[in-house]
Amino acid sequence: MLLNDGYVYREKLGNPPGKSALAYLTAKYRHSSEAEWRARFERGEVELDGRRADGSELLRTGQLLCWHRPPWEEADTPQGFELVYEDAELLAVVKPSGLPTLPSGGFLKNTLLSFVQARWPEAVPMHRLGRATSGLVLFTRTREAASRVASDWREGRVHKRYRALSQGLAAQESYDIRAPIGLVPHPLLGDVHGALASGKPSHSVARVLQRRVPEQHTLFEVDIHTGRPEQIRIHLAFIGHPLVGDPLFAAGGLPLAQSPGLPGDGGYLLHAESLRLTHPRTRTELNLHSAPPLELR
- Average pLDDT per block of 10 residues along the chain, 297 residues long: 88 87 91 94 97 96 95 91 98 97 88 96 96 97 97 95 98 98 87 95 98 98 95 98 96 88 89 98 97 96
CATH architecture for residues 158-266: 2-Layer Sandwich (3.30)
- Locate all alpha helices (DSSP H) within the chain, ordered by sequence: 21-28, 34-42, 112-119, 143-154, 231-238
Whether domain 2-74 has CATH 3.10.290.10: the reply is: yes
Write the DSSP symbol of residue 59: P
Query: What are the structural domain ranges in the chain?
Result: 2-74, 76-156, 158-266
Report the pLDDT value the prediction gives residue 104, as an integer from 0 to 100.
Answer: 84
Measured CA to CA, the distance from residue 197 to residue 252 in angstroms comes to 12
Measured CA to CA, the distance from residue 128 to residue 61 in angstroms comes to 31
Write the DSSP symbol of residue 295: G
What superfamily would CATH give domain 76-156?
Pseudouridine synthase (3.30.2350.10)
Report the pLDDT value the prediction gives residue 187, as an integer from 0 to 100.
Answer: 79
Would you call 233 helix, strand, or coil by DSSP? helix
Report the pLDDT value the prediction gives residue 275, as an integer from 0 to 100.
Answer: 97
**Given this chain, do its domains 2-74 and 76-156 carry the same CATH topology?**
no
Q: Under a CB-based contact definition with an 8 Å cutoff, are residues 240 and 161 in contact?
A: no
Report the pLDDT value the prediction gives residue 115, as an integer from 0 to 100.
Answer: 96
Report the pLDDT value the prediction gives residue 196, as an integer from 0 to 100.
Answer: 97
Report the pLDDT value the prediction gives residue 128, as an integer from 0 to 100.
Answer: 94
For 221, other C-beta atoms within 10 Å of its C-beta total 19
Contacts of 17 (CB under 8 A, 6+ apart): none
Q: Which of 132, 131, 202 is nearest to 165 (CA)?
A: 132
Measured CA to CA, the distance from residue 42 to residue 35 in angstroms comes to 10
Measured CA to CA, the distance from residue 235 to residue 145 in angstroms comes to 31
For residue 52, list its beta bridge partners: 47
Report the pLDDT value the prediction gives residue 180, as an integer from 0 to 100.
Answer: 98
pTM summary value: 0.87
DSSP characters over 142-200: SHHHHHHHHHHHHTT--EEEEEEEEES--SSSEEEE---EEEEEETTTEEEEEE-TTSB
Measured CA to CA, the distance from residue 126 to residue 139 in angstroms comes to 6
Q: Under a CB-based contact definition with an 8 Å cutoff, are residues 255 and 192 in contact?
A: yes
